[in-house]
Amino acid sequence: MMLDKEELEYIRCLTDHGKETVRFLSNANKADRERIVCAAFLRSLGVDFSVEHLVPVAQKMSPPDVKFGTARFEVCEVLDKRRKRHYEARSRVDCLRRAKTIEDTYLPVRAKTPLLYPEVFTLVTNELARKANRYGRKVCSELDALICVHLLNRYLDPNSSPPRYANLLAQGWRSVSFFHLPYSHVIYAAESAPDFLRHFAGQTRKEWNHSDTFYKL
């Protein structure tokens, strides 16, 4: 069956979006990705800010990755094991280029399962352990760790109970927070951490209701 003009335009738009995703996930855009995580975190936390105040730090000068006032964000991402997003994005574009029908553009739909705080805290602790071992406690004590948790087909259950985080404290970070769309959560913040992080310590926040602009710069 031949595709009509509207269907061809729809597939073209999907392909263009896919190519933009490939570009965004390239190494050249690492700084923007880190700033975007900070922006989404602050929006959901309910902190007013201007994107100009999210200042990227040159890789040769890091850590941190992003400065925001007195905050010094060290940004990490938690993905599913063995997941390669850049490869996924390129494969998606290839699939769209080969599409002969609208059905060829469909993605599989899988049921989502809840993600509880104990699992999140374990993922965050394990992810940060590698950096803590490399940086040492003195460097970590001046950094505000921010982890973007991005797992396929999972949703954060904000009604689950946060566990203790002694192993995370032992790493020495000034503060540790995570963002899992659409929630922001500050796990802890030391006395030396920025005021806004100390104010929201131990809280899960969802203060941004515009899903299309969470990651806007």
Domain boundaries, the chain: 37-81+111-213
For the chain, which residues score pLDDT lower than 70? 1-3, 21-22, 24-26, 86-87, 89
**How buried is 121 (Cβ within 10 angstroms: 0-12 exposed, 13-18 middle, 19+ buried)?**
buried
> pLDDT tens, 46-58?
999 999 999 999 8
Select from 105, 102, 93 the least CA-distant residue to 6.
102
Residues 6+ positions from 177 with CB-CB distance below 8 Å: 41, 144, 145, 146, 147, 184, 185, 186, 187, 197
Q: Which residues contact 153 (CB under 8 A, 6 or more apart)?
A: 110, 111, 112, 113
What's the pTM value of the predicted model, to 2 decimals?
Answer: 0.85
Query: Tell me: the pLDDT tens digits for 87-132?
Result: 676 777 778 788 888 887 787 778 889 999 999 999 999 999 999 9
CATH 3.40.1540.10 fits 37-81+111-213, yes or no: yes
Three-state SS annotation for 116-170: CHHHHHHHHHHHHHHHHHHHCHHHHCCCEEEEEECCCCEEECCCCCCCCCHHHHC
